[in-house]
Amino acid sequence: MLIGLIYGGKSGEHEVSINSAKGVYSPLCALGHQVVLIGITTEGLWFLQQGNCIHTTIQRDLPLCVVPGKGLYCNNEPIPLDAALAVTHGYGGEDGNLQGLCLLANIPLCGCDTVSSALGMHKDLSSKLFERSGIPTVPSVLLTKKDIERMDMENLKQVLSAKLGPHLFVKPENSGSSLGVQALVNLDNDSLFQAIMEAHRYSERVLIQQLVQDMVEVECGLLDTSDRGLVVAGPGLVIDPAKQKQGFLSYEHKYGQVDTAHLQVPSLLPDELEQTIRTYAKLAFTAIKGEGYARVDFFVTQQKIFLNEINTSPGMTKTSHFPTLMQSLGYSMEQVLQILIDSALKKKVETDAYCYLPPGV
């Protein structure tokens, strides 16, 4: 099959996406697929990539265009993709925009669709759905763009302290990879203002949460299979050597070369607690109408579980946790990718079978 591998993007997670592409390229080739490399620059421009190697910078020689209903074109010639896999993270790649573009262009895309991707990326929206499904989430307050423009810091500090307590966690409402996040202990007006404005650099809306202390982080991987249904891998325990210094799992600790966080599977939590976490992971995936695959992150403290967030385009780098979780269930990266491709093709057939004509036509 001719599979389009889409990576890069106009996102703070651009480099992570390129490394994710490197992580899946060889397995795709090992499956016997012909892989078309599609790089997106930090300006959002799409280019066909030449050769059999994924470079750290996007080649800009062969611009691509997407034609609604017809697919991908280069130099006015169609690229007849059978399916596409987007390992894009963050804005424009994980938030439903790319997913909708591929749908309108008639390109079968692996993983979550427009709706589930958008819900997964916007953490305040997804948390409301999780709560309706009976999943405990971290107490939080959302600041809109207008709220930020009109901030009265002293009043805001009092409101947040009353609702969330004296220790807060500030992050963009629709970003990932721990970009723009900050843990605030012993709150003051200046540190709160700086944290909000840093998060606002990455997102129109800012989410302020209760800082869950004395907790461990665990993660589950989900894969929707044809033979076993929705399987849940994990939970795995996040081991972060530098957690005490930073206060949270930072971008540097996720992807850096020193003190890099890693996953311990099994988590060694009590069996009953692990089973509850797996149940919540399935419920979360279903709540956002998830498809294909995802990773769900939790906080556990004093036998209490809080769902932190769901990631509908989990990292596929050599240090990413989703591949490790899948391996713990016996799924190789080749098996995971083929399941996703088969699912995308099946979904295309089902989608095309629906009626899109007015009555009587």
155: buried, middle or exposed (CB in 10 Å: 19+, 13-18, 0-12)? exposed
Q: Residue 299's pLDDT is what? A: 97
Q: Residue 248's pLDDT is what? A: 53
Read off the pLDDT of each residue in 145-166 and give the average, rounded to a whole number: 94
Global pTM exceeds 0.85: yes
CATH number of the domain within which 219 lies: 3.30.470.20
Residue 182 in contact with residue 193, Cβ under 8 Å?
no
Q: Residue 217's pLDDT is what? A: 96
Query: pLDDT (tens digit, 9 = 90+) per residue, 24-35?
Result: 999 999 999 999
State the total domains in the chain: 3
Amino acid occupying residue 19? N
Residue 121 in contact with residue 177, Cβ under 8 Å?
no
Q: Residue 59's pLDDT is what? A: 97
| Among candidate residues 164, 185, 210, the one where a domain is terminated | 210
Instruction: Inform me whether the pLDDT recorded for 62 exceeds 50.
Output: yes
Tokens at 170, concatenated: 């500030």
Location of structure tokens 């397995």: 27
Instruction: Inform me whether the pLDDT recorded for 212 exceeds 70.
Output: yes
31 three-state secondary structure: coil
Instruction: Inform me whether the pLDDT recorded for 256 exceeds 60.
Output: no
Q: Tell me: do 24 and 168 sit in the same domain.
A: no
DSSP letters for 109-121: BSS--HHHHHHHH
Q: Tell me: do 105 and 124 sit in the same domain.
A: no
Domain that residue 75 falls in: 2-109
Confidence of residue 192 (pLDDT cuts 50, 70, 90): very high
Q: Tell me: do 128 and 236 sit in the same domain.
A: yes
DSSP letters for 198-229: HHHTT-SSEEEEE---S-EEEEEEEEEETTTE
Q: Residue 242's pLDDT is what? A: 60
Read off the pLDDT of each residue in 39-62 and give the average, rounded to a whole number: 96
DSSP assigned state of 137? B
CATH number of the domain within which 193 lies: 3.30.1490.20
Tokens at 197, concatenated: 């404005």
Read off the pLDDT of each residue in 17-42 and give the average, rounded to a whole number: 98
Q: Tell me: do 39 and 105 sit in the same domain.
A: yes
Instruction: Inform me whether the pLDDT recorded for 180 exceeds 50.
Output: yes
Query: pLDDT (tens digit, 9 = 90+) per residue, 63-110?
Result: 999 999 999 999 999 999 999 999 999 999 999 999 999 999 999 999
Q: Tell me: do 14 and 30 sit in the same domain.
A: yes
Q: CA distances (Å), 54 to each of 19, 37, 74, 98, 309, in order?
A: 9, 8, 19, 20, 30
| Among candidate residues 210, 228, 255, the one where a domain is terminated | 210
Which long-range contacts (C-beta less than 8 Å, at least 24 apart) are formed by 47-50? 48/74, 48/79
The bridge status of strand 62-67 relative to strand 77-79 is unpaired
**Residues with Cβ < 8 Å from 339, sequence gap 6 or more?**
223, 224, 225, 226, 331
Q: Tell me: do 81 and 180 sit in the same domain.
A: no
**Residues with Cβ < 8 Å from 109, sequence gap 6 or more?**
83, 84, 85, 86, 98, 99, 102, 103, 344
Residue 213: how many CA atoms within 13 Å on its side-chain side? 11
Residue among 262, 265, 242 at smallest CA distance from 318: 262
Confidence of residue 348 (pLDDT cuts 50, 70, 90): very high
Residue among 33, 59, 35 at smallest CA distance from 48: 59
Tokens at 42, concatenated: 């930090």
63 lies in some domain: yes
